Amino acid sequence: MTPSTTARVRRSTPRRVRVAAACTSLLGLVGGLLGAGATAPAAANPVTPGNLTGYGFDQCEAPSQAAMTRWMETSPFLAVGIYISGASRGCREQRNLTPQWVSTQLAQGWELLPITLGPQASCSPHFPRYGNDPTINPTPGAGNNYTAARAMGRTEGQRSVDAARRLGIAPRSVLWYDMEAFDVGNTHCRESALAFVSAWNTTVKRLGFTTGLYSSAGSGLNAWDDARVNRPGRYVMPQYIWFARWDEVANSSTSYLREDGWRPNRRVKQYRGGHLETHGGVTINIDSNWLEVGKGSRALPPVTKCGDVLVDLPRYGALTPGAKGRMVSALQCNLRMRGFYSGEPTGRYDDATGAAVAAYRRDRGMDGGRTWGRTGWVRLASEGARPVLKLGSNSWHVRRVQRMLNATGLREGAVDAYYDREVADAVKQWQARVKQPQTGIVTEASWRAMSFGRGV
């Protein structure tokens, strides 16, 4: 990963950080007061990255809060790479990177990829970068064990974990070592680099974190893949890999690596190098990545409530008194959970159901009618938290969006909590109906339109 310029915010007045993020960032405020050697509280921060199949970006200097908030609302990305340690990193001074910044991004829904760029391979043409940043000692040592390189790896592993702890990054999170391209044909250079990263992996794992390695697909990671297959047990393998292959194809494959390694969902691919992208008026110089991590973004089973009532339906339509079926049961259950219906869901639209519908409608500022239409389903889906959702999102809140889309008739399918391309396309169609920018991203403005039952 090469250094890139910092974010340039083109909006005159940045939008506020969402309330949920602001609440969570109280821990970050405490962390910001800690000394350089202190450990920020990480208990409230989730392990990162979680489960994601989707887009990410990395940039040399952590972007400003205003830029991150705007990009969450307008960009396709859900993950961001940040340089937290290493004497050879391009941006040694991270002006924005604090415990508060970390906790706020995690609360907003970002997945973080914390990167160390420390000692590099002895034959790399670009290092040392500053003159006072060491390169890996290539001396073979007794038994060609590259003892000196391993000692350096253990030291750097401790530094990586210390930096992560100071920032409040939770244990079990993936920490990444950035090993830039080098000549894999140089035996001592290659073997010392492998020994260094092996020791770094051992140390980071012993200290309670998960290990990841970034490198060029054709050099560093190609060497690791060969060692995995041809010399099993010789080196401690990274648990995740992140490879650079700038073919502009957003997937997790390359001809330089065997397909059986680090599967499933243990791969990140940097598919495009440094370039400018603008989203929501904010321009950042980034590398683009495709992530398949954790359990990946995946379809989840339908949800039942009120005992065994299926509330995730492939379609939601109008209901009138006298109607019967599972859609009526889903309505009764929804009204019961909100305190408007006190009986057991029966699947029959009787007087009690009509009275509950009328009470709900009056409470929400509608007329007191006893019929239930698509607008009502959309309004029900809007009630609750209002997180930003986009391609790759995988949560309870995605179910709400899928229910809304099924109610509008723009979609008819499983309510499975996975925001895939089909959901994103349907959201774009809905946004066109309600005269919003067709981004395929659900924002506060989208939830607000849903709360009025718009787009049916």
CA gap 92, 108 in Å, rounded: 26
- Whether 281 and 363 map to the same domain: the answer is no
Q: Tokens 């992996």 appear where?
A: 201
- Whether 162 and 311 map to the same domain: the answer is no
Given a contact cutoff of 8 angstroms between Cβ atoms, the answer to whether 292 and 252 are in contact is: yes
In a domain, 299, yes or no: no
**How high is the pLDDT of residue 11?**
30
Concatenating the DSSP letter of every residue in 7-19 gives PEE--SSPPPPPH
In a domain, 456, yes or no: no
For residue 451, give the 3-state DSSP assignment.
helix
- Whether 351 and 205 map to the same domain: the answer is no
**How high is the pLDDT of residue 7?**
37
Question: Could you tell me the maximum CA-CA distance found in the chain, to the nearest angstrom?
Answer: 87
Angle at 109 between CA 292 and CA 58, to 5 degrees: 55
Strand bridging mode 240-244 / 266-279: parallel
- Whether 265 and 205 map to the same domain: the answer is yes
- Whether 177 and 245 map to the same domain: the answer is yes
pTM for the model stands at: 0.88
- Whether 282 and 312 map to the same domain: the answer is no
- Whether 287 and 325 map to the same domain: the answer is no
For residue 266, give the 3-state DSSP assignment.
strand
Task: For residue 285, list its beta bridge partners.
Answer: 276
Q: Which of 105, 111, 112 is nearest to 18 (CA)?
A: 105
- Whether 388 and 247 map to the same domain: the answer is no
**How high is the pLDDT of residue 16?**
29
255-259: which pairs have CB atoms within 8 A and are 24 or more residues apart? 256/217, 256/218, 256/221, 256/222, 256/225, 257/217, 257/221, 257/222, 257/225, 258/225, 258/229
What is the domain extent for residue 435? 304-451
In a domain, 221, yes or no: yes
- Whether 313 and 217 map to the same domain: the answer is no
Q: What is the DSSP letter of 205?
A: H
Given a contact cutoff of 8 angstroms between Cβ atoms, the answer to whether 289 and 411 are in contact is: no
- Whether 243 and 267 map to the same domain: the answer is yes
Provide the residue-wise pLDDT of the chain in tens; the chain has 456 residues.
743 433 333 332 333 233 333 333 333 333 333 333 445 555 689 999 999 999 999 999 999 999 999 999 999 999 999 999 999 999 999 999 999 999 999 999 999 999 999 999 999 999 999 999 999 999 999 999 999 999 999 999 999 999 999 999 999 999 999 999 999 999 999 999 999 999 999 999 999 999 999 999 998 999 999 999 999 999 999 999 999 999 999 999 999 999 999 999 999 999 999 999 999 999 999 999 999 999 999 999 999 999 999 999 999 999 999 999 999 999 999 999 999 999 999 999 999 999 999 999 999 999 989 999 999 999 999 999 999 999 999 999 999 999 999 999 999 999 999 999 999 999 999 999 999 999 999 999 999 999 999 999
